[in-house]
Amino acid sequence: MDQSTDNSLWNADLAPTTPEQRTWRARHFAALWLGMVIAVPAYMLAGGLIEQGLSAVQAVWAVLLGNLVVLAPMLLIGHAGARWGVPYAVLARASFGWGGARVPALARAIVACGWYGIQTWIGGGALLTLLGVMVGKSLVGPIVPVLGIGLGQLLAFAAFWLMQLLFVTKGLEAVRKLETWTAPVKVVVCGLLVWWALSKAGGLGPILHEPSAYDPGGAKAGRFWRDFGPIVTAMSGYWGTLALNIPDFTRFARTQRDQVVGQVAGLPGPMALMATMSVVVTSATVLIFGKAIWDPVALAGDIGGVAVLVGLLIISLDTVSCNIAANLVGPAYDFSTLWPSRISYRTGGYITAAIGALIMPWKLLESTQGYIFVWLTGYGALLGPIAGILIVDYWLLRATKLDIAALYDRTGRYTYFKGWNLAAVAGFVLGVLPNLPGFLKAAGLPAAAGVGGLWTGLYDYAWFVGAGIAAGVYWAAMRVGGGAKVDG
């Protein structure tokens, strides 16, 4: 790409990848996913379902189904990156216009900042627990006013936040190498944790026979099918951010086959295994400690011993590799598109890290209810419409063909109305709005206490509702208006 095309829409980080940059093979994508799947938030995802009352088998099925669902948009959107070499924030210009693309870029970036903060909080917690085990006492410290966390927790969070900034300067290739080398180590650690759980709980039998809250006579008897759909929706939303910005990775694929095979091998299967490990261990904690401990960092503190020191070190390493890959690469590119001539990938990474701290991520992890049904389902309501629009635009309207030069040109075919495609904006807004009342009620906003069952029912399936409505509105508007053929 010639930099002179339009410097206001172009920089070296946003330009299409060259043949020399396309070095990722299927094994690299599989390792990338393995590294991101074997992570504390993914563990907490399945473990949280046990705390919510599902049996071990029910929880694993919920996670597996959710990941099979999200794999479809992952592959469909990832195709564009592998074929054309452009990142997500540039791909969005084809459907939203070069100006309107800032909306999906910002939406995805803000959600990723939240995830970046969550992972940083988890990593800081692992460091604090590690130090506490070493000195033999809790280092949480006195509660800091306003923040609501201990001074020790705040200092550990800050230390881990600073440590991760070192990787911002190394670029995406360093992330690929880190994930490739750490993934096998994390598999071994997970296996040891399962071994501990089985030995302490008396084998797999007692764990699998732990009753579900949905069984006859249970606290949630008769509500399984009413709740299972929303749970699968939340599980689909877990990777909703990556389903959008997956072109940021697939643009480095050697071939289309490499990204497809690598993602199919790396996502649903390992995620199901991770869920199995999580539910086995979390179910075992019910038998061992009398309560479900869904946070592995907290569990490590309860276990104690030398092995915990090693485990917490691995958790810290895991959190760095996963956080950079899953939650910094995408928003770094997204922020860069807002002002390409001034915001580089590195600067975008610094912005992501700053927002991730300011968002106070510990508030998002206060309960499994908030983590699963407010955070996961809530941002699914925001990102689902974008996925629907991108898929319709790229596959149905353009038949996978893009004018690459026009993606970096203010006067090209993706100019629409002063840089904004109103059809995409309308699809996005109409896709988000039906889920807004249900989200406000789920978030506990007093003014939304009276929101009725219709709206909460829609919100239960927020990602699918938003994606379906936005896709339909966008397709109809573009067909009626001939927008797919707009040429500036």
DSSP code for 360: -
242-264: per-residue pLDDT in tens?
898 899 999 999 999 999 999 99
What value does the mean pLDDT of the chain take?
84
Structure tokens at 144: 């800091």
> How large is the average pLDDT for residues 20-39?
87
User: Would you state the pLDDT for residue 25?
Assistant: 95
> How large is the average pLDDT for residues 346-358?
87
**Angle in degrees, CA 416, 422, 423, rounded to 5:** 105
> How large is the average pLDDT for residues 224-249?
88
> How large is the average pLDDT for residues 173-201?
70
* Least confident segment among 60-69, 174-183, 427-436, 467-476: 174-183
**pLDDT grade, residue 176 (50/70/90)?**
low
> How large is the average pLDDT for residues 394-420?
93
For residue 286, the one-letter residue type is: V
Structure tokens at 57: 């088998």
Query: What are the C-alpha distances in Å from 286 to residues 53, 129, 258?
Result: 12, 21, 42
User: Would you state the pLDDT for residue 487?
Assistant: 37
Query: What are the C-alpha distances in Å from 173 to residues 24, 169, 325, 477?
Result: 10, 11, 10, 40
Share of the chain above pLDDT 70, in %: 87
* Least confident segment among 104-108, 197-201, 299-303, 477-481: 299-303
Q: Which residue has the higher pLDDT, 219 or 92?
A: 92
DSSP code for 212: P
Please state, in angstroms and rounded to a whole number, the distance separating the CA atoms of residues 281 and 148. Answer: 29
Please state, in angstroms and rounded to a whole number, the distance separating the CA atoms of residues 146 and 154. Answer: 12
**Angle in degrees, CA 295, 109, 252, rounded to 5:** 95
> How large is the average pLDDT for residues 261-282?
88
Please state, in angstroms and rounded to a whole number, the distance separating the CA atoms of residues 385 and 450. Answer: 26
Q: How far from chain centre, in Å, is Cα 1? A: 30
User: Would you state the pLDDT for residue 488?
Assistant: 35
Does 474 have pLDDT greater than 90? Answer: yes
Please state, in angstroms and rounded to a whole number, the distance separating the CA atoms of residues 68 and 65. Answer: 5
Compute how many other C-beta atoms are within 10 angstroms of the C-beta atom of residue 56: 24
DSSP 67-106: HHHHHHHHHHHHHHHHHH---HHHHHHHHHHHHHTHHHHH
Nearest to 200 by CA among 272, 307, 314, 275: 307
Share of the chain above pLDDT 90, in %: 35
Does 296 have pLDDT greater than 70? Answer: yes
Nearest to 20 by CA among 345, 252, 256: 252
> How large is the average pLDDT for residues 255-274?
92
Q: Which residue has the higher pLDDT, 333 or 146?
A: 146
User: Would you state the pLDDT for residue 311?
Assistant: 63
